[in-house]
Amino acid sequence: MSVLLSRLCVSVRPVRALYGLRNSGTGAYRGYNTNPAFRSLTYLQRGLQYRSVSSNETENRGNLCHNSRLYTTSQTVDPLEMRKFQAWVLKWWDEEGIFSVLHALNDIRVPFIRDILMSRNYEHDVGCPLSGVKLLDVGCGGGLLCEPLGRLGASVTGIDPLEDNIKIAALHKSFDPVLEKHVQYKSCTVEELVDGHLGYFDAVVASEVLEHVADVESFIQSCFHVLKPGGSLFITTINKTKLSYALAIVVAEKIMGIAPEGTHDWEKFIPPEELERLLESNGYVVEALRGMLYNPFSGSWRWISDNSVNYALHAVKTVAQEQPTDVGGEGEQEQQKVAEASV
């Protein structure tokens, strides 16, 4: 949910197609919707006031978890962060607003997730490369990442502790019938999802979320529990460096006002070395680490070798090895019987 240095000059983008999906190029994986009604603040307010998540999603799709409240006792959810994002609920699908950088981030994070999952021997076809993949998007907000992943064929579950975020995500999803069978939303935390869903998902995504959680290690552990053995964890977050403080907080928040002041807390940023250590000590193997750079003039992201500000990481849940204790015990017992017989 991080908003870094955004564009220094505002450009007027051409009108996109209804869903903004193309095979390549800028905006290929952004969830644009040109329906003017959806951009209306009044329309969104009415949607929050009168539209609840459909009974099919809340009751008939497995009851993955219970609705959460604004104030929660969750170990990973920070109530201060929830209050901040509650104030921005209506802004998720404003591609020129405070989440514009996240809209642009889809252009590299979606292919990053797609290509790695396709390389892990899942059966897929050209039109739906992620068909058959069960994917969890933790801290999904308004569904900016869930929608393009769903259009790639994945069965996506988006969760967020803020119920109003989930209502906005469900409302936006309703404009695209294709997403009905691919994307579902639930208002809950990842800890609440663990019970009854151990080893359930092929992949878990936590994009721009880690820097907002209260307990990173507990969060990582909960993600581990819901992943299948050999499943993938995708993370994008912010490094804890002087440069990240300058760009993400001083420039973006205090000087340019691109992000509301207080969006980020530098103390919650996490160096990749520390994140790798936490992951490896909790049963993951880190397979990829890449730096990311945002260009405020073009409004686009690209991959770089330097991870001093933003970075993406892919880790895999280790496959539990069979313990040889039983075999060893049987062998010892057999040896003991042979010894007793020889006596």
Do the annotations mark residue 139 as ligand-binding? yes
Q: Quick check: 240 and 269 in contact, CB under 8 A?
A: yes
- Nearest Cα neighbor of 294 from 247, 234, 240, 242 is 247
Residue at token pair 């190029």: 25
Please tell me whether residue 183 adopts helix, strand or coil conformation.
Answer: strand
Quick check: 6 and 260 in contact, CB under 8 A? no
∠ Cα 136 120 148 (to 5°): 40
The count of C-alpha atoms lying within 13 angstroms of the C-alpha of 37, restricted to the half-sphere facing its C-beta, is 7
160 is in an annotated binding site: yes
Question: Helix crossing, 41-50 with 163-173: angle to 10°?
Answer: 110
> Checking DSSP bridges between strand 155-160 and strand 183-187, what pairing results, if any?
parallel
**Widest pairwise Cα distance in the chain:** 92
Rounded (10°) CA dihedral 62, 213, 230, 302: 110
Side-chain-side CA neighbours of 82 within 13 Å: the count stands at: 20
Beta-carbon neighbour count of residue 172 at 10 Å?
Answer: 23
DSSP 245: I
Tell me whether residue 322 is annotated as binding.
no
The answer to the question of whether 207 is labelled as a binding residue is yes
Residue 280 annotated in ligand binding: no
Annotated binding site for Mg(2+): 208, 211-212
Annotated binding site for S-adenosyl-L-methionine: 109, 139, 160, 207
Annotated binding site: 109, 139, 160, 207-208, 211-212
